[in-house]
Chains A and B, each alone.
Chain A
Amino acid sequence: MIEIKNLDFGYKNQPVFKNISLNFEKGNIYGLLGENGVGKTTLLKLISGLQKPTAGECLVDEVAPFKRLPETLQKIFFISEDFAIPEGTPINNLKELAPFYPNCNETQFMELCKEMEVDPTRKFSELSFGQQKKCLIATALALNTDYLLLDEPTNGLDIPSKTLFRQVIAKHANENRTIIISTHQVKDVENLIDPIIILDHDEVLLKATFRTITDKLYFDYGTEKDDTALYSEMIPGGYVNVTRNPEGVDSKVSVEILFNTVMKNKETIKQIFG
């Protein structure tokens, strides 16, 4: 489990988090959302031990990752959005990482590369950005870490690769793994992520499963704007109106519209989900 308790963090003169508390439980594929600059990447860096909290705690299985103990770091893998391109080939890169990750599985890596349609024996420098990214995703999954942190994983992937990405993540998710996907490209992962976390600088605005979201909010796709709605947005053919859901009517969550609803109604949302 990842536990973040009353965490403060900032870069030089630039505060990022103030008193954030948040847990990530095993077996979930979390979608981490938030406006630009809210600190999604920073949060992943804190979890992976690349940054140290200014105050409060960030614990991975009860140990602070910033202590950078091998026992902790071997459980975590982070693909950052602006990853450094490794030297040599993806397969050699995996072999270099293997000693640090006890559950690394080379056979699985080769299978993943085949599924993702990339050649792991070609130099990283000869691969396109999308192919490099797919190789890194294959690497990340084949290392079989308990915690997998992915920052904008679908950026740069072509359309078929996005489908493949969803399939390999669904395949490699299991009850012992915690996967956190930070993204703005919610449409790419809309049906994959659950629960959804919406982050702000000084608070977590929402952390809820799809089931809870549809229990509490109703997404009405109609022809008219509802002025009493928490949020309305024009879509081709009409409006989506997001209202409270006292009668518990089922509806389909649009994550983009949920996000806009939350940003426009921070206090109300906290109250509804509190």
Chain B
Amino acid sequence: MEFNAHKPIYLQICDQLYGQILSGELKADDRILSVREYGIQLGVNPNTIMRSYETMTASGIIYNKRGIGYFISAEAKDLVLKQMKEEFINEELPQVVKKMKLLGITNEEFLKFADQTL
């Protein structure tokens, strides 16, 4: 896993799991790697992985069965979609709009390019 330069590592680890949830690779009630296993795989401090898991537990995307491990919740996919949409609208889109202004791209042009890309 290549880490992005500017986003906290623990959030990047969340993003990686979100990707797997959206693609269907991880489904409701699937067990995910333990904090330890994930830490070993990435060569990352267990505290960091723990923080990712705490974040995802708090938002209801994963749940903890004591002594067994962490699992994907039934609502995970909906929650991830909602969260990532918000993130896109609040963080990524303003960057795109800023760049559009800078380059003088109009809304019509943007829609045309978007259609072509799709």
**A residues whose Cβ falls under 8 Å from a Cβ of B:** 29, 163, 165-167, 169-171, 173, 191-194, 209-211, 214, 221, 250-253
Within 8 A of A (CB), among B54-112: none
CB < 8 Å neighbour of B8 from A171, A173, A250 = A250
Least CB distance from B53 to A in Å reads 14
Least CB distance from A120 to B in Å reads 22
Q: A163 to B11: give the CA distance in the assembly, Å.
A: 21
CB < 8 Å neighbour of B44 from A165, A192, A214, A250 = A192
Main secondary structure of the interface of B (DSSP, over half): helix
CB–CB A170/B5 < 8 A: no
Q: A167 to B43: give the CA distance in the assembly, Å.
A: 4
Least CB distance from B15 to A in Å reads 13
Q: A170 to B5: give the CA distance in the assembly, Å.
A: 22
CB–CB A252/B43 < 8 A: no
Q: Which residues of A contact B26 (CB under 8 A)?
A: none
Q: A253 to B51: give the CA distance in the assembly, Å.
A: 15
Q: Which residues of A contact B7 (CB under 8 A)?
A: 252
> Which among A165, A170, A171, A251 has the highest number of chain B CB atoms within 10 Å?
A170
CB–CB A252/B40 < 8 A: no
Tell me whether A194 and B48 are in contact in the complex, defined as CB-CB below 8 angstroms, given that A250-B11, A251-B8, A252-B8 are known contacts: yes
Q: Which residues of A contact B44 (CB under 8 A)?
A: 166, 170, 191-192
Q: Which residues of B contact A253 (CB under 8 A)?
A: 8
CB–CB B47/A194 < 8 A: yes
Sort A-B residue pairs by CB-CB distance and give the 9 closest, nearest first.
Answer: A166-B43, A221-B6, A194-B45, A170-B39, A191-B44, A171-B40, A167-B43, A170-B40, A252-B8
Q: Which residues of B contact A193 (CB under 8 A)?
A: 45
CB–CB A191/B6 < 8 A: no
CB–CB B8/A29 < 8 A: no
Q: Which residues of A contact B40 (CB under 8 A)?
A: 167, 170-171
Taking A191-B3, A211-B47 as given, write out 10 further A-B residue pairs in contact, using a Cβ cutoff of 8 Å, ordered by the A residue number.
A163-B43, A165-B43, A170-B40, A191-B43, A191-B48, A193-B45, A214-B8, A221-B5, A252-B5, A252-B6
Tell me whether A192 and B8 are in contact in the complex, defined as CB-CB below 8 angstroms, given that A167-B40, A171-B40, A211-B51 are known contacts: no
Least CB distance from B92 to A in Å reads 15
| B19 at the A interface (CB under 8 A) | no
Q: Which residues of A contact B9 (CB under 8 A)?
A: 191, 252
Q: A126 to B9: give the CA distance in the assembly, Å.
A: 40
CB–CB A191/B8 < 8 A: no
Q: A192 to B3: give the CA distance in the assembly, Å.
A: 13
Least CB distance from A49 to B in Å reads 28
Q: Which residues of A contact B3 (CB under 8 A)?
A: 191
CB–CB B5/A191 < 8 A: no
5 A/B residue pairs, CB under 8 Å, sorted by A: A163-B43, A170-B44, A170-B45, A191-B43, A252-B6
> Which among B11, B46, B48 has the highest number of chain A CB atoms within 10 Å?
B46
Q: Which residues of A contact B51 (CB under 8 A)?
A: 211
Instruction: Name B49's closest neighbour in chain A (CB-CB).
Output: A170
Q: Which residues of B contact A29 (CB under 8 A)?
A: 45
| B41 at the A interface (CB under 8 A) | yes
Q: Which residues of B contact A173 (CB under 8 A)?
A: 46
Least CB distance from A247 to B in Å reads 15
| B33 at the A interface (CB under 8 A) | no
Q: A170 to B41: give the CA distance in the assembly, Å.
A: 9
Q: A252 to B3: give the CA distance in the assembly, Å.
A: 11
Instruction: Name A250's closest neighbour in chain B (CB-CB).
Output: B8
